[in-house]
Structures are given as structure tokens and as C-alpha cells.
């Protein structure tokens, strides 16, 4: 007789705070409660982008990363509030303390979001749903804030679940429902499917998980490269990625693959500026300053290069990041070869050792062909 050892399902919770920055501002300043507010941007509605908006503001269509001017047009009574990052960071560590009562396996994704593996929980509660409820209650009673949670057997499904009944939601997708759940998802929801891949999938009449499931692993790899292997597993509800506690952020960046190859240098400059804004948002969201700025270019002929420049101090401001990225762009072949992808990332978040501090600005030029 064949021995079958069933692998027990993991119990994964994804917790994501509701309108995080905005909820904290409404908590601390009662005059903002029940009102449409935007954290970030500028009060005159002219410059900058919205970091996040209260749910009252979202009814008007105000969203994260929207230019304040547009937000003000959509919602003229919108109140712009200056962000208090140190407060958000403090709240974030209090949330973490709550998580730690249940498990040490916590993987934060940003200040307001984390995965928890509660397959074994410290108090011995056993039910992941009950743990999620208790966490939500503790966040409510101790911090006067609401969170949404997704509970499932893997990270991928737990994360999508946490977003389904926002705000103050709790969504459980049990083992027997995972596959049907994933089949119904639109392709955009799949991990790693960006704009360009989603377009490509739609052209191939692949709209949902169920459509992707019709393809063999070999086909998926042929059409979508390495990611195809991941799609093959994920549409079958399989995601073995472990919850990695204290994963150190090594780099923060953003990149864009263009729907057509860029030839115009001015357009590249514009794109680099746009990408820089995204990177700045991510840095600020995670309270990080990096000493190294890296520009990545993928040429039309698939060669990929990176160019970096390092500073003695960490930076997170838009001006410096834009300027540095544009400076790095100059030393490349962009005037001769078409460009398919541009990206910017910041790394080296740790403090610089004092003995290097006197050396001033260092510049590294790296060329990596993939």
C-alpha cells in the first residue's frame, strides 16, 4: 500500500490598514472626521500628489498617487493634510507589537501591511479566523483604527482576500474554495502581471485565471517567460512562498515597460521623471533613504544595462533622484538604440561607515547584460 502523507495547510493572514495615513489624521484631529481629506499634495491643490485619501474623499474618485490638482477638481471641498511620517511609523510598530502576540513569523510589506503565518500561534488559538478577529479588535480598541484582513492557505490568496471587503473587512478563503476563487480572478490580479502583460493576455483572449489554466506550463513559459511557471502554479491555487520575517528591504524602485519602444530622448526624459515620482512615493511610504540611485535600461535588442551613482548620505527627495537619474541617462546609448524599459531604484539604506564618509561622492558604473 502506498503511503500518503498529506501536507497540512498553512494558515496565512494578510493584514492591511484602511486608508492608513488618512485614518490616523482623522483619529488625531476630530475636525477631519467624516470629511474628505487627502494626505500629501499641496493645500492650494497645485503641486504634488495625494499619498492617500479618506474614504469620504474616495467617493469623489480621489486616489493615491493622483496629482493634487486633479483631486481638487474632483472634490472641491477636499482638505489637504500634511503627512506626519514619524507618527505613521510609530503606529506601524504598535501594530507589529499586536501581531507579535500571536506569531513571530511576520513579514511587513510596508508600514501598513504585513503577512503573518499563524499555522502555529503563540496562544494556541488554532483558528486563523479567530486570530484575525482578535488582531482587528486589538487594533480597534488600542489604536482606534480599522484594518482589513484576508485569511487563507497562502500569501497570494490572503492578500487578494484582504482587499475584498475593505474597509474593516475580514475575508476567509478556505482550502476547498481556493482553486475556484483563483479561476474567477481577472488576469490583472495575478502577481507579477503588469500592464503590458495584461494587454498581451487579453489579445490572446486570456481574461481570467480559468483561461490561463487551459494552457500547459510549457505554453505559459513560451508566451510569458519565467513568470509563466509561476502563473501555472498560481492558477492552481499553489503558492509556496514562505512568510519571511524581518526581510530586509534591499532596494526600492519602479520601472515601466513601454507598449512601444521609445526613440525620442525627450520622451525618455519625461518617463524617467514620472518613474522618479513613483520611487519617491515608495521610499517615503517605507520611510527609507537610499545612498545609491540606479537607472536600468532595457534596449530594443534586449540588452539590459544599469548605471549607478552613490552618495554619502541617504536621499529620498524627488529633485535629487530625478536629477541623478537624468544624469545617468545621458551616458547611455539612448540616442542610438530604441528603449523598451526604464527603471529607477534606490538601494544602500544602511548608514555609511564613518571611514568612507570623507571620500565624498562616489560613482560606480556597472554594465550587466542579461
* Site residues (vs ligand DCP, CB under 6 A): 16-21, 51-52, 64-65, 112-113, 166-167, 281, 284-285
Name which of 71 and 145 has its Cβ closer to Mg ion: 145
Q: Out of 25, 56, 107, 113, pick the active-site residue.
A: 113
* Alpha-carbon gap, residue 13 to 161, rounded angstroms: 9
Round to whole Å and give the CA distance between 219 and 225. Answer: 9
For residue 64, the minimal CB distance to ligand DCP (Å) is 4
Nearer to ligand DCP, 148 or 324 (CB): 148
CB of 345 to ligand DCP, least distance (A): 16
* 361 assigned to active site: no
Residues in the chain, total: 370
Report in angstroms how near the CB of residue 14 gets to ligand DCP at its nearest: 11
Measured from the CB atom, is 112 or 117 closer to ligand DCP? 112
Q: Three-state SS for 157?
A: helix
314, with CB counted inside 10 A (0-12, 13-18, 19+), is: middle
CB contact set of 183 (below 8 Å; sequence gap of 6+): 208, 209, 210, 213, 235
Angle at 47 between CA 42 and CA 52, to 5 degrees: 55
Q: 298 near 346, Cβ under 8 Å?
A: no
Sheet hosting strand 50-53, strand order edge to edge: 50-53, 37-40, 79-81
Which of ligand DCP, Mg ion, none is residue 162 near (CB under 5 to 8 Å by kind)? Answer: none
Report in angstroms how near the CB of residue 167 gets to ligand DCP at its nearest: 6
Scanning 8-16, 96-104, 120-128, 342-350 for contacts with Mg ion by CB under 5 A, the matching segment is 8-16
Task: Give the DSSP H/E element, type plus range, for residue 104.
Answer: none
CB of 148 to Mg ion, least distance (A): 8
Q: Name which position in 17, 116, 234, 235 contacts Mg ion (CB under 5 A).
A: 17
Closest to ligand DCP by CB, 20 vs 231, is 20
In the bound state with ligand DCP, the residue whose beta carbon lies nearer, of 164 and 367, is: 164
Binding segment toward Mg ion, per CB under 5 A, in 11-19, 149-157, 167-175, 352-360: 11-19
Q: Is 256 in the site for Mg ion (CB under 5 A)?
A: no
Helix, strand, coil in percent for the chain, rounding step 5: 40, 25, 40
21 binds Mg ion (CB under 5 A): no
Map residue 137 onto helix, strand or coil. helix
- d(CA 327, CA 24) in angstroms, rounded, equals 38
Q: For the CB of residue 221, give the shortest distance to ligand DCP in the complex, in Å.
A: 31
**308 contacts which partner out of ligand DCP, Mg ion, none, CB within 5 to 8 A by kind?**
none
The interface partner of residue 166, options being Mg ion, ligand DCP, none and the CB cut-off 5 to 8 Å by kind, is ligand DCP
Question: What is the C-alpha separation between 173 and 210, in angstroms, rounded?
Answer: 17
Whether residue 28 contacts residue 87, with contact meaning beta carbons closer than 8 Å, is answered with yes
Position 16 contacts Mg ion (CB under 5 A):
yes
The Cβ of residue 179 has, within 10 Å, a number of other Cβ atoms equal to 17
Q: Select 10 or 159, whichever has its Cβ closest to ligand DCP.
A: 159
Binding site for Mg ion (CB under 5 A): 16-17, 20, 112
Hey, which residues are catalytic here? 113
Amino acid at each position: 500500500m502506498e503511503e500518503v502523507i498529506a501536507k497540512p495547510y498553512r494558515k496565512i493572514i494578510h493584514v492591511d490598514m484602511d486608508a492608513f495615513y488618512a485614518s490616523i489624521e482623522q483619529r488625531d484631529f476630530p475636525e477631519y472626521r467624516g470629511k474628505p481629506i487627502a494626505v500629501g499634495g499641496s493645500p492650494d491643490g497645485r503641486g504634488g500628489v495625494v499619498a492617500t485619501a479618506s474614504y469620504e474623499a474616495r467617493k469623489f474618485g480621489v486616489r493615491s498617487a493622483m496629482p493634487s490638482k486633479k483631486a481638487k477638481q474632483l472634490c472641491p471641498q477636499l482638505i489637504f493634510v500634511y503627512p506626519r511620517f514619524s507618527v505613521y511609523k510609530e503606529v506601524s510598530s504598535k501594530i507589529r507589537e499586536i501581531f507579535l502576540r500571536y506569531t513571530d513569523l511576520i513579514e511587513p510589506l510596508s508600514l501598513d501591511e504585513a503577512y503573518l503565518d499563524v499555522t502555529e500561534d503563540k496562544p494556541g488559538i488554532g483558528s486563523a479566523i479567530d486570530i484575525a478577529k482578535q488582531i482587528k479588535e486589538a487594533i480597534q480598541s488600542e489604536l482606534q483604527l480599522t484594518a482589513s484582513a484576508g485569511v487563507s492557505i497562502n500569501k497570494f490568496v490572503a492578500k487578494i482576500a484582504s482587499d475584498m471587503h475593505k474597509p474593516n473587512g475580514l475575508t476567509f478563503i478556505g482550502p476547498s474554495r481556493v482553486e475556484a476563487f483563483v479561476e474567477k480572478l481577472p488576469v490583472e490580479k495575478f502577481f507579477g502581471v503588469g500592464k503590458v502583460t495584461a494587454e498581451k493576455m487579453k489579445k490572446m483572449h486570456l481574461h481570467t485565471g480559468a483561461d490561463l489554466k487551459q494552457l500547459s506550463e510549457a505554453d505559459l513559459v513560451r508566451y510569458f517567460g519565467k513568470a509563466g511557471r509561476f502563473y501555472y502554479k498560481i492558477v492552481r491555487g499553489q503558492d509556496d512562498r514562505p512568510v519571511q520575517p524581518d526581510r530586509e528591504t534591499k532596494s526600492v524602485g519602479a520601472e515601466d515597460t513601454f507598449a512601444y519602444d521609445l526613440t525620442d530622448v525627450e520622451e525618455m526624459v519625461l518617463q524617467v521623471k514620472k518613474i522618479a515620482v513613483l520611487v519617491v512615493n515608495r521610499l517615503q511610504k517605507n520611510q527609507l533613504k537610499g545612498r545609491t540611485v540606479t537607472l536600468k535600461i532595457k534596449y530594443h535588442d534586449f540588452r539590459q544595462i544599469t548605471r549607478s551613482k552613490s552618495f554619502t548620505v541617504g536621499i529620498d527627495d524627488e529633485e535629487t533622484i530625478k536629477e541623478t537619474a537624468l544624469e545617468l541617462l545621458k551616458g547611455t546609448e539612448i540616442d542610438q538604440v530604441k528603449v523598451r524599459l526604464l527603471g529607477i531604484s534606490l538601494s544602500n539604506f544602511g548608514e555609511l561607515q564613518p571611514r568612507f564618509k570623507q571620500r565624498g561622492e562616489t560613482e560606480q558604473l556597472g554594465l550587466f547584460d542579461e
